[in-house]
Amino acid sequence: MGFWDFLHGSGKKLETETPDAAPTPAVLKKEVSDLGLDTTGLEIKVEGDKVKLEGQAVSPEVKEKVILAVGNVQGVASVEAEDEPNAPAPRFHTVKKGETLSHIAKAELGHANRYMDIFEANRPMLSQPDEIYPGQVLRIPQAA
């Protein structure tokens, strides 16, 4: 079982019943669907400010993207998900103030020019490589 922390007050603002409430499973499922991610085999549950993903995704990559899609939402403080069988543990990075994808690529992948690898690993959640924010959690691709 994997557990990932997110900044409760940071992230994408989705429609909720009250301003600081966690989004409902239906709202999160719509967000994931709007991003074009396939949730076949996954169930999204919300317990307070924690999201639980149960079941097996169509691929480990899709599951990692779903974790980020639901975690980088205002009102979500953590995501818990079952491990994918025979898949390496996901690598995530929380953006700090002043960081760019190039900074993160140098620190995480050994070379600043690999920033597009991180950008591509986080599509469709990222639409531009220069539009990241402090507190956002990004997926780091497995080393090539």
All structural domains of the chain with their residue ranges: 2-81, 91-140
Amino acid identity of residue 84, one-letter, is E
pLDDT tens for the chain, 144 residues long, are: 789 999 877 888 888 766 666 799 999 999 999 999 999 999 999 999 999 999 999 999 999 999 999 999 999 999 999 888 888 888 999 999 999 999 999 999 999 999 999 999 999 999 999 999 999 999 999 865
Q: What pLDDT is attached to residue 87?
A: 84
CA triple 31-77-60, angle to 5 deg: 55
Contact 4, 71 (CB under 8 A): yes
Q: Is 64 exposed, middle or buried (0-12, 13-18, 19+ CB in 10 A)?
A: buried
Query: Which DSSP state fits 26?
Result: H
The model carries a pTM of 0.90
Residue-level pLDDT at 8: 79
- CATH C-level class of 91-140: alpha beta
* Peptide linkage before 124 cis (omega within 30 of 0): yes
